[in-house]
Amino acid sequence: MVLVVDYGSQYSRLITRRIRENEVYSEVVFPDDKVDLSKVDAVILSGGPRSVYEEDAPKLPEWFQEYKGPVLAICYGMQLIVKELGGEVRRGRGEYGRTLVELSRDPIFEGIPEKVHVWMSHGDEVVRLPEGFHPIAVSETGVIAAATDGKRFWLLQFHPEVHHTEYGDRMISNFLFNVCKLEKNWKIGDLVEEKIRHIKETIGNKKAILALSGGVDSSVAAVLVHRAIGKNLVCVFVDHGLLRKNEREEVERVFKEHFDMNLVVVDARKRFLEKLRGVTDPEKKRKIIGEEFIRVFEEEAKKHDVEFLVQGTIYSDVIESAASGKTTAKIKSHHNVGGLPEKMNLKLVEPLRDLFKDEVRKVGKYLGIPDRIINRHPFPGPGLAVRVLGEVTEEKLEILREADYIFIETLRKHDYYDKVWQAFAVLLPIKSVGVKGDARAYEYVVALRAVNSVEGMTADWSRIPHDILDEAARRITREVKGVGRVVYDITSKPPATIEWE
């Protein structure tokens, strides 16, 4: 296993992903976490926002003195190693963004040109290396960009894990296989079978319950646990009336008919719409939906003799919500079932908690889940309630449902759905004047939104060809009663968020 020590870098997760993409297992820990060194083959120290000379700056982990294997230290990690081993770091001019560096011959740079552009983000700089170290890369401003002792330490002042660094993937691969001599051991098939064995051991002959949304994470968690315990898994799908067109029918078809699961569908449309009547504030809408969902789910769970609650928590959730330095970090619960394990005295099972989203999708494909579910775009927990701006009514939901369906089907028709990260329609709380036939029309405005992103932290609006947008807009204004105008949102994140509410 490759251990990534997180010093607060926004890229720590990315390092772990890059390693796993090379089919080598990796985990993220914090500097004061306890570690079983018998399982560690290599250590990577991440970057971070601090200076090594700050009084309370993060230090090397306690266990680092005992660890004798290879180390790759990035940015802050490099400066920390230099300082701890007797070199000198001081405040410099700083290098930020794309920077040209010149590389020397070294196993970590095998197969890479002598000059490459890398991504820098540092204010401090190394001015004197520890004894036994030598530079293997220098930036265009003369700063030491990489160094090694040729034995177990490789230090990079730049970030090889970000796509802005040319040949960054190759550098990480070289470290894993040229320097550490690791073997590929992260196979999806083996992983799935191991997880099924672990779930069987954990749950045994007892019953478990899962809130199935039809999204990627809950769907993969459901099929994985079903493989292990069969009908002892109770999947609860709550139809709160805020779903996309045909969503309930598709979930029933896939999970009840295709996978023969113990699926319970709860029709709670009336009670959710009643609770949302007159509410316009988006945060209030979210809170009402979350609390009502818990009530519905809890009512259903009491009808079944269950001991375990299955959740689709994934690794990015674990890392994002971890309190630095605490091994018992609080995990970000699914918005729908937060707090349920404690309230209902259920034991929590999270079969996907060590997987990133792309790995979850690979597991889903391995398990035979249809591509239409595995490759679905992200969908907000509160559903269409946060895409109907203002008060949510049945009429508005039906208008939005049809408009959204037409937009998505148009993208699929032109093989464009999988080229964007997320696409959807929004019903605006305004009407505009138009002409239909020979008569004046005064109807709703629909905004179409499509973005490209990796993790959703930042996003760029998608440059969908005009003929596709034109087709979608024409169909929506022609086929959806009550819509007279369609606009396309060309705002990136930041400054906007992906969702409108």
CATH classification at residue 90: 3.40.50.880
pLDDT for 315 equals 76
On whether the CB atoms of residues 148 and 136 are closer than 8 A, the answer is: yes
Structure tokens at 96: 């930020």
Q: Is 97 found in the same domain as 129?
A: yes
pLDDT for 321 equals 56
Q: Is the pLDDT of residue 328 over 50?
A: no
Q: Is 115 found in the same domain as 192?
A: no
Q: What is the dihedral of CA 475, 477, 483, 487, to 10 degrees?
A: 90
Annotated binding-site ranges for ATP: 213-219
Q: Is the pLDDT of residue 210 over 50?
A: yes
pLDDT for 334 equals 36
Locus of tokens 């196979």: 187
Last residue of a domain, one of 179, 206, 226: 179
Segment 284-305 mean pLDDT: 90
Strand 26-29 versus strand 42-45 pairing type: unpaired
Nearest to 464 by CA among 497, 485, 490: 490
Q: Is the pLDDT of residue 356 over 90?
A: no
Q: Is 278 found in the same domain as 214?
A: yes
Q: Is 293 found in the same domain as 409?
A: no
Quick one: angle between helices 216-229 and 357-366, nearest 10? 50
- The answer to whether residue 494 is domain-embedded is no
Number of domains within the chain: 3
Q: Is 467 found in the same domain as 427?
A: yes
- The answer to whether residue 381 is domain-embedded is no
Rounded to the nearest integer, the mean pLDDT of the chain is 90
Q: Is the pLDDT of residue 94 over 80?
A: no
CA gyration radius, the chain = 26
Q: Is 171 found in the same domain as 39?
A: yes
Q: Is 235 found in the same domain as 96?
A: no
pLDDT, tens digit (0-9, with 9 covering 90-100), for 164-207: 899 999 999 999 999 999 999 888 888 899 899 999 999 999 99
Q: Is the pLDDT of residue 399 over 50?
A: yes
pLDDT, tens digit (0-9, with 9 covering 90-100), for 234-285: 999 999 999 999 999 999 999 988 899 999 999 999 999 999 999 999 999 9
If pLDDT is split at 50, 70 and 90, which confidence band does 454 have?
confident
Q: Residue 392's domain is classified under what CATH number?
A: 3.30.300.10
pLDDT for 342 equals 58
Segment 392-403 mean pLDDT: 97
- The answer to whether residue 86 is domain-embedded is yes
If pLDDT is split at 50, 70 and 90, which confidence band does 233 have?
very high
Q: Is the pLDDT of residue 332 over 70?
A: no
Q: Is 394 found in the same domain as 329?
A: no
pLDDT for 115 equals 96
Segment 6-34 mean pLDDT: 89
Both ends of the chain: CA-CA distance in Å? 41
On whether the CB atoms of residues 137 and 104 are closer than 8 A, the answer is: yes
If pLDDT is split at 50, 70 and 90, which confidence band does 335 have?
very low
- The answer to whether residue 497 is domain-embedded is no
Count other C-beta atoms under 10 Å from residue 334's C-beta.
Answer: 23
- How many alpha carbons lie under 13 Å from residue 500 in its C-beta half-sphere? 23
pLDDT for 337 equals 44
Q: Is 212 found in the same domain as 138?
A: no
Entry pTM: 0.73
Q: Is 59 found in the same domain as 192?
A: no
Segment 112-129 mean pLDDT: 91
- Is 435 in a helix, a strand, or coil? strand
Segment 219-228 mean pLDDT: 96
* Stretch among 36-50, 65-79, 348-362 having the lowest mean pLDDT: 348-362
Q: Which residues, at least 6 apart from 427, have a Cβ–Cβ distance to it below 8 Å? A: 387, 388, 389, 396, 399, 400, 403, 444, 445, 446
- The answer to whether residue 235 is domain-embedded is yes
- The answer to whether residue 382 is domain-embedded is no
List, by residue number, the catalytic residues.
75, 159, 161
Last residue of a domain, one of 152, 179, 206: 179
Strand 439-452 versus strand 422-436 pairing type: antiparallel
Last residue of a domain, one of 374, 400, 417: 374
- The answer to whether residue 350 is domain-embedded is yes
Q: Is 240 found in the same domain as 339?
A: yes
Locus of tokens 């794309």: 98
On whether the CB atoms of residues 169 and 14 are closer than 8 A, the answer is: no
Q: Is 45 found in the same domain as 120?
A: yes
Q: Is the pLDDT of residue 324 over 50?
A: no
Domain residues for the domain of 158 are: 2-179
pLDDT for 343 equals 62
- The answer to whether residue 115 is domain-embedded is yes
Burial of residue 57 (number of CB atoms within 10 Å: 0-12, 13-18, 19+): middle
Q: Residue 212's domain is classified under what CATH number?
A: 3.40.50.620
pLDDT for 190 equals 85
